[in-house]
Amino acid sequence: MSASHNHPAPAPLGGPLVTPTTKLLAALVAIALVILLVRFIFGIGAVTNINDGYTWGIWVVYDVVIGSAFACGGYSVALLVYIFNKGEYHPMVRPALLASLFGYTLAGVGVIFDLGRYWNFWHIFWPGYAQPNSVMFEVALCISAYIIVMWLEFSPAFLEKFGKQDVKKKLNKLLFFIIALGALLPSMHQSSLGSLLVVFGYQVHPLWQSILLPLFYLMTAITIGFAVVIFEACLSSSGFKRPLEMHLLGKLSKVMLGMLAVYLALRVVDLVLRGAIGSMFSISIEALMFWIEMGLFIAPLVILSKPATRRNPSKLFIAACCLMAAGFILRINSYLVGYETGPGWHYFPSVPEIMVSIGMIALEILGYIVLVRYLPILPGSNNSAIATNK
Amino acid sequence: MSISRRDFLKGALAGGTLLAAGTSAEARENLTMPSEALGLLYDSTLCIGCKACVSACKEVNDMPPEFSDTEQLWDTPTDISGKTLNVIKVYQDGNSATKDSEKDGFAFMKVSCLHCVDPSCVSACPVSAMTKDPVTGIVGYNKDACIGCRYCVAACPFGVPRFQYDKALPQISKCQLCKHRIADGKYAACAEVCPTGATLYGKVKDLQTEAQRRLALKPGDYAVFPRGNINTHDQSSHTAKAAKYLPQIYGEKELGGTQMLKLSAVPFEKLGMPKLPERSYAATSETMQHTLYGNALALPLAVLGVLTYVAKRNVNDDDEK
């Protein structure tokens, strides 16, 4: 990422690393580690509520499926800046990429906790074992590749810090290809996270089982990516007492609005064509959750449709939260609420199970705080001029 | 700086062409049954619920007992699990007086792997730990390949593969049709010990013929039922009254067929066997995957080409400024 468009160069934020916030986050990480120790000694069942009817709990559905979607900020902004050539969003690339880097790396690490026979993990990458017809194979390969690509995409921040200008220059020559890979790989695996469900057949409720699941998962991952960028910009501006880049966020929300409208249209057409429209009016937990999901997608569409609200930080923040929640519920619905393997099976995550997921989130936030204070990530000091320059 | 209308149209056109190129991949049809496929015929009307098959299965597969009562004196599994590959479940209605009656009756159902012709678990497994034998069609599991992702557990439409949640070093457990006994000239223990021939072992094509013969029997007439292995006739046959069968062989068409065939007098859905389409879910899923990633990754590589071109132009723009 070369500095460009007269944006201020990214600079380390500085400031203290040991604060009440970072101490709390570290404590949450420590709790998760203790629980994981129990899991590795006594088995997954000792700390989670997963069972043969719901063999994938929140360690898969939240940590990986939702976690990686929430980590799409870097992907969405990179698409906008480098593929659609919207250079004005350039200052958002590094902070978004950092959050993505953490989200994805931890999703990748989180998989290990959930794998029953984790010591065989390398089999996925080994020609004698790899099974390319499996959607899981595609997801695993592609997420792993993207984690590597993202570290490369992000490495200029480290190289600047350690004064390796010559390496950075060489890397910059190849950057266009790394960026292209960084745009392709998430498109592949974010869609595949939806494709995973297709083989489940009748076990996924008709409100969610569709051959268009890959497209729905991809489109919502991109919109979630934009929403997360807005969400993080709002939080980091209040947390680090920095001015908000409203002119960019407002425009970004307009892009989000367009994607959202197309998604909702496709979603409804698909339900009609598959004859599933009736199930949304039945009295069932599935129908209720479907309406909550759709409501959360429609609300930001309404909120963002007025230009005035797109310039209002609090409204923008609410719309972003709705969209993140919508993507969250869509994934929970299709993997858990709408997933039924037969009578007698129930699943709700156990407290230790939830604590591990919380520990992962804590680790992400902790890492983000440490790195933005230490590395050149957020736009440099003259950014206050930008904030007022509408 | 913004993308021009012309560039956008060019991009859209390229995208459309790519999609068309991708979708030209051929649909993946259902897989077909190997000609020497081995399987079981389970006749619910002959089953007396003695559970000799459950006990024999435990013994030959070296599985631990499982308790569902407080005394814990003997093996009492209520479902298949990480410790149990085969159980007999019972359906009950009203006063449970009449065998094989949907109303005020009861009926049995064997729960174990159906050895699908086109198994979801094999299609789902990312590391070839679940395999379908090209000759016998037995769906086998190799724990040494398995990574424990449990995609097979989640994908199986019959809920068959199970996982050992209580072990530090767990594995998947599922019936493998006693394939480890074939070398010794033996066959599935459940069929070997079945006293009434309710579970019968053999080549699927012969089991199919036998199933059709039973459906043609006149209800109430005495008929002869083979026991054990239908191909070797290793056991004497069993004579019983023919039941009032439903005119359906479960497993003949479901998801492209299974190598375990089932007969019953009570609707299969009541016995926990779901109604399923003829097209396998594996075929649907793999058609989708091959459309997107088939022809040596044609579609992703083409997209990568376009993205690389666009990114190079835009990054160069960056440098000029």
Q: List pLDDT tens digits, range B28-48.
A: 999 999 999 999 999 999 999
A251, A367, B252 from A226: Cα distances, Å:
11, 21, 50
Q: What are phi and psi of B186, to 5 degrees?
A: -100, 175
Tell me: do B66 and B178 sit in the same domain.
yes
Tell me: do B210 and B307 sit in the same domain.
no
Residue B321 lies in a domain: no
- Neighboring chain A residues of B172 at a CB cutoff of 8 Å: 116
- How many other β-carbons are positioned within 10 Å of the β-carbon of residue A57? 24
B10 part of contact set with chain A, CB < 8 Å: no
Residue of A nearest to B310 (CA): A83
User: SS3 of B172, please?
Assistant: strand
B73 part of contact set with chain A, CB < 8 Å: no
Domain CATH number, residue B177? 3.30.70.20
Q: What is the largest CA-CA distance in chain B?
A: 93
**B88 vs chain A: nearest CA distance in angstroms?**
17
CATH class in words for A20-379: mainly alpha
Q: Do B149 and A115 touch (CB under 8 A)?
A: yes
Q: What is the largest CA-CA distance in chain A?
A: 64
CB pairs under 8 A between A and B: 206
Q: Do B284 and A199 touch (CB under 8 A)?
A: yes
B284 part of contact set with chain A, CB < 8 Å: yes
**Nearest-CB residue to B315 (from A53, A133, A176):** A176
Could you give the CA distance from residue B39 to residue B133 in angstroms, rounded to a whole number?
Answer: 12
User: Residue A204 pairs with which residues in a beta bridge?
Assistant: A339
Domain that holds residue B9: 5-30+282-311
- How many other β-carbons are positioned within 10 Å of the β-carbon of residue B90? 12
- Neighboring chain B residues of A353 at a CB cutoff of 8 Å: none
Residue B268 lies in a domain: yes
Residue B320 lies in a domain: no
Tell me: do B296 and B209 sit in the same domain.
no
**A252 vs chain B: nearest CA distance in angstroms?**
14
User: SS3 of B201, please?
Assistant: strand
Number of domains in chain B: 2
Tell me: do B26 and B72 sit in the same domain.
no
Tell me: do B185 and B97 sit in the same domain.
yes
Residue B222 lies in a domain: yes
Tell me: do B252 and B286 sit in the same domain.
no
Q: Do A188 and B300 touch (CB under 8 A)?
A: yes
Q: Do A52 and B163 touch (CB under 8 A)?
A: yes
pLDDT in tens, chain A (390 residues): 444 455 677 888 888 888 899 999 999 999 999 999 999 999 999 999 999 999 999 999 999 999 999 999 989 888 888 888 887 888 888 888 888 988 898 888 889 999 999 999 999 999 999 999 999 999 999 999 999 999 888 888 888 878 888 888 888 888 889 999 999 999 999 999 999 999 999 999 999 999 999 999 999 999 999 999 888 888 878 777 777 777 778 888 888 899 999 999 999 999 999 999 999 999 999 999 999 999 999 999 999 988 888 888 889 999 999 999 999 999 999 999 999 998 899 999 999 999 999 999 999 889 888 888 888 888 775 443 333 333
How much is the ipTM here? 0.90
Could you give the residue ranges of the DSSP H alpha helices within chain A? 20-42, 58-60, 67-70, 73-78, 93-114, 135-161, 165-195, 213-239, 246-273, 285-305, 307-310, 313-332, 351-374, 383-388
Torsion of CA A165, A171, A172, A176, to 10 degrees: -170
Q: Report angle CA B173, B177, B182 to the nearest 5 degrees.
A: 125
Q: What are phi and psi of B83, to 5 degrees?
A: -115, -5
Q: Do A55 and B163 touch (CB under 8 A)?
A: yes
Tell me: do B165 and B239 sit in the same domain.
yes
B312 part of contact set with chain A, CB < 8 Å: yes
A293 token code pair: 């999901």
Tell me: do B79 and B176 sit in the same domain.
yes
Tell me: do B291 and B271 sit in the same domain.
no
Residue B316 lies in a domain: no
Tell me: do B226 and B301 sit in the same domain.
no
Q: Do B163 and A135 touch (CB under 8 A)?
A: no
Residue of B nearest to A44 (CA): B165
Tell me: do B238 and B126 sit in the same domain.
yes
Question: DSSP letters of A287-330?
Answer: HHHHHHHHHHHHHHHHHHHSHHHHT-HHHHHHHHHHHHHHHHHH
B126 part of contact set with chain A, CB < 8 Å: yes
Tell me: do B303 and B220 sit in the same domain.
no
